[in-house]
Structure 1
Amino acid sequence: MNDAISPQDEGNSAPVHNTDVAEDQHSTVRDWQRIEQDSDFRELVRAKRNLIVPATIFFLLYYFAFLIVVGYMPDIANASVFGTINVAYLFALSQFFVTWILMGIYVWRAGIFDSLVQRIVARVRGEKE
């Protein structure tokens, strides 16, 4: 049977549910629950959280430090470094470099994340077959 409603039936009848679809969805939920309990999956989540949360906090602090320096310490922000280039310009430019560095660190660590994902996927596929 089909779960879809044809345009002619729209508003006139409820969709008919297929029991096979319901069973597949139930087994998918069980698969996800089993994966969630897997030690490799927990390690993956922990590793990603240990990178993403501190990196995000660092970047936000760095970004808002720039705003605070420019807004509340204009003498420091306007201090000349090289001719007409002042601290505020260098601080603003450094935002790009900090972003690129954080991106590079994430890409480097993504290799570790990918190997954990491959182990998890291989284990799940092996158990299902």
Structure 2
Amino acid sequence: MADATSPQDGGKSIPARNTEVVDDQHTALRDWQAIERDSEFRELVRTKRNLIIPATIFFLLYYFVFLIVVGYMPDVANASVFGNINVAYLFALSQFFMAWILMGIYVWRAGTFDRLVERIVARVRGGNKE
């Protein structure tokens, strides 16, 4: 192996530099930078960010409103809706439904993300640019 030191000289020799690996790393670095500057890649990032950030903010606000209502407005949280079921129980259960709804929206939009990724990958690998 060209990169290994020789055991015969007690490991004192300088390992040879594998220029193929270094060149491949620089080529890969340049390719990633080119992909990052690509308009379709930027569109993919922007499209995902436009969904993920607002959805995350919405869910966090939704969750913390529940905590605020329970902590600072116990009369509202304890208000009976029907039988022993109060507003706090319904709000807590709605957290699960809200998570499922947001997951469904993400899965629905993931088709758009996948199409953008397929176009980028096809172009990078040398395929057509549809």
Shared topology, TM-score over 0.5?
A: yes
3-state SS, counterpart of residue 125 of structure 2: helix
Give the residue type in structure 1 aligned to 2:53: V
Q: Distance in 1 between matches of 2:66 and 2:16?
A: 58
Describe how 1:80-119 pairs up with structure 2 within 5 A: 80-119=80-119
- Give the 3 Å change call, closer, same or farther, for CA 96–33 of structure 1 in structure 2: same
Shifted more, 29-38 versus 12-21: the winner is: 12-21
Give the residue type in structure 1 aligned to 2:114: D
Q: Which runs of 5+ in 2 are unaligned?
A: none
Q: Distance in 2 between matches of 1:72 and 1:4?
A: 67
Q: Which is bigger in relative contact order (C-alpha 8 A, separation at least 6)?
A: 1
Give deviations 1:95-120, integer Å, cap 9, x for gaps. 00000000000000000000000000
* 1:17 to partner: Cα distance: 4.3
- TM-score, scaled to structure 2: 0.86
Q: Distance in 1 between matches of 2:49 and 2:124?
A: 23
- Give the 3 Å change call, closer, same or farther, for CA 17–96 of structure 1 in structure 2: farther
Larger radius of gyration: 2
The CA RMSD measured in Å over matched residues stands at 2.2
- TM-score, scaled to structure 1: 0.86
- Give the 3 Å change call, closer, same or farther, for CA 63–19 of structure 1 in structure 2: same
